[in-house]
A and B are shown apart, each in its own frame.
Chain A
């Protein structure tokens, strides 16, 4: 079982570099020490180029046959939307788990990304949420519908956006929103 062979964070980052070279940038390994016994926990961060995004996520299966998908985060910054995919591998082994976080930048002119639900069916709600909150388009999503926002919420308003498509005007006049 590949799950039993635990690579270190450095080895994983190196393997990503070997496989994707310049398409991986800003690798960062965070180490935190806790408790009297000084237990260490490790978080890995990497920025992915959108062109290799799907392949890079698929690469996780080389280290662990069942990586865990935690959630996707995301925010609007200047002309791009940043999505962060949070995974963990080697869970089930005490103090061996590694959190792996991939950041992908999407330009606002073309905020599209491929679905990962074929690899992680549990990612569906996360992808739906990013579509409705940030206005990104997830290509190939199996259920292209709203999940948290009701169907009568106006189209084209994305609550987590900080630009003109954001909810700022609605928030200032909440009483006017109720029809």
Chain B
């Protein structure tokens, strides 16, 4: 009888793979169908944004920060803005602080609904994906109504916001929130009661509380493992200190914390409900006043040119804590800028989540932290080894051709 030796094999997934929405490379060590070990490689969409920020003045950086991520296009410029306001001692009017909360919570709802759709898609439940897309469409309409844009909002300004929300706009906001509440029950039922969802997500991709703390997980990923950590509550920035809400952990609903994919679904769904309540509270308690501390941009820039010091801006983005460090040295340009998006902290927790799982669970476990690679990868131009070389003129020529083609 011949003897066989059981060995593991390597399975690379990514950087470009149908199961992944953005580029990241996993190298799995597989035994049969079971994942024995995994390593993660990053950097495929690193664009040098932090470096580019040091060539710009703080107001120009706002627009650059907005382009770090398509979904958190509000959190990044706002966290940067918080850091700069602290360096330059700029007081934000109370009215503007409430408006900032509304935009932040609206972004959270949009992001969580989008994530719910992606999660459904990852387990092959595409009809739910389209249900969430229908709901998100209404929310994007509201975003457009409030900011003038659907995705890249352009609402942030150092010292406040750029557009007001006046009482005559409240009915439209309330109408959309009512629509969302009406559909929330349907979503809750699909995600939390559906047999397929439960089978695919319960006990899958577990992150223990110890691992979450050790690996510095943030946001819903940490809260689903029972770590009470939410910057909105920990350090009441904007007007969050005035509002009535609490930490969302899965035991609020089920009485227990498992730290699995199911728990991460619970946390995000409950946070949608919480965000609706926060927007309503803001509308009820809205103080009057200006929307920005200094409406004249030239005057603001002159003030920022004299700012000297360092500061941090932290805020709770949909995926967790966004952290911006800024240093200014009484110069036109920002001296140093570090952006820490939540996915940056949620990369290492992927490893304990994926170990001992099945190959088929890779997409949903990877998606369960709501990763955003564009947020995480930032830095410099990369030297590619290409077989064909394009010089500057050839590349420019191709750009011109592409633009002409699009205009036809």
CB neighbours of B227 from chain A (8 A):
92
B178 adjacent to chain A (CB < 8 Å): no
A175 to B227, CA, bound (A): 48
A-B contact count (CB 8 A): 171
CB neighbours of B312 from chain A (8 A):
43, 86, 99, 101
CB neighbours of B321 from chain A (8 A):
70
Given A153-B383, A171-B381, A125 contacting B348 (CB threshold 8 A): yes
Q: In the complex, are the beta carbons of B336 and A179 less than 8 A apart?
A: no
Interface size class of B (residues with CB under 8 A): 35 or more
Q: In the complex, are the beta carbons of B237 and A34 less than 8 A apart?
A: yes
In the assembled complex, the CB of A147 is this many whole angstroms from the nearest CB of chain B, namely 6
A123 adjacent to chain B (CB < 8 Å): yes
Q: In the complex, are the beta carbons of A69 and B216 less than 8 A apart?
A: yes
CB neighbours of B242 from chain A (8 A):
35-37, 39
A133 adjacent to chain B (CB < 8 Å): yes
A11 adjacent to chain B (CB < 8 Å): no
A159 to B217, CA, bound (A): 27
A38 to B240, CA, bound (A): 11
Q: In the complex, are the beta carbons of B214 and A177 less than 8 A apart?
A: no
* Tally of contact residues, A, Cβ under 8 A: 60
In the assembled complex, the CB of B400 is this many whole angstroms from the nearest CB of chain A, namely 16
Which of A13-21, A54-62, A71-79, A106-114 interfaces with chain B?
A71-79
Q: In the complex, are the beta carbons of A97 and B239 less than 8 A apart?
A: no
A160 adjacent to chain B (CB < 8 Å): yes
Q: In the complex, are the beta carbons of A122 and B285 less than 8 A apart?
A: no
A170 adjacent to chain B (CB < 8 Å): yes
Q: In the complex, are the beta carbons of B235 and A149 less than 8 A apart?
A: no
B300 adjacent to chain A (CB < 8 Å): no
B238 adjacent to chain A (CB < 8 Å): yes
CB neighbours of B335 from chain A (8 A):
75
| Pick from A70, A88, A154, A175: contact of B395, CB under 8 Å | A175
CB neighbours of B247 from chain A (8 A):
92
A27 adjacent to chain B (CB < 8 Å): no
Q: In the complex, are the beta carbons of B347 and A35 less than 8 A apart?
A: no
Instruction: Encode contact with A along B318-337: 1 for CB under 8 Å, 0 otherwise.
Output: 00010101010000000110
Q: In the complex, are the beta carbons of B236 and A91 less than 8 A apart?
A: no
A167 to B287, CA, bound (A): 48
B389 adjacent to chain A (CB < 8 Å): yes
Q: In the complex, are the beta carbons of B344 and A148 less than 8 A apart?
A: no
Given contact pairs A71-B345, A73-B336, a sample of 7 additional A-B residue pairs in the complex whose CB atoms are under 8 Å apart = A35-B239, A39-B242, A120-B216, A122-B214, A133-B379, A160-B50, A179-B389
The interface of chain B, by Cβ under 8 A from chain A, is 42-43, 46, 48, 50-51, 86, 92, 94, 97, 213-217, 227-229, 231, 233-242, 247, 285, 287, 310-312, 314, 321, 323, 325, 327, 335-336, 338, 340, 344-345, 347-348, 377-386, 389-392, 395
A-B contact pairs, 7 of them (CB 8 A): A34-B241, A37-B241, A71-B338, A123-B216, A147-B43, A159-B380, A171-B381
Which 9 pairs show the lowest CB-CB distances between chains A and B? A39-B241, A122-B216, A97-B234, A175-B392, A92-B228, A75-B336, A73-B338, A71-B340, A39-B236
The interface of chain A, by Cβ under 8 A from chain B, is 30, 32, 34-39, 41-43, 45, 66, 68-75, 84, 86, 88, 90-97, 99, 101, 120-125, 129, 133, 146-150, 152-154, 159-160, 167, 170-171, 174-175, 177-179
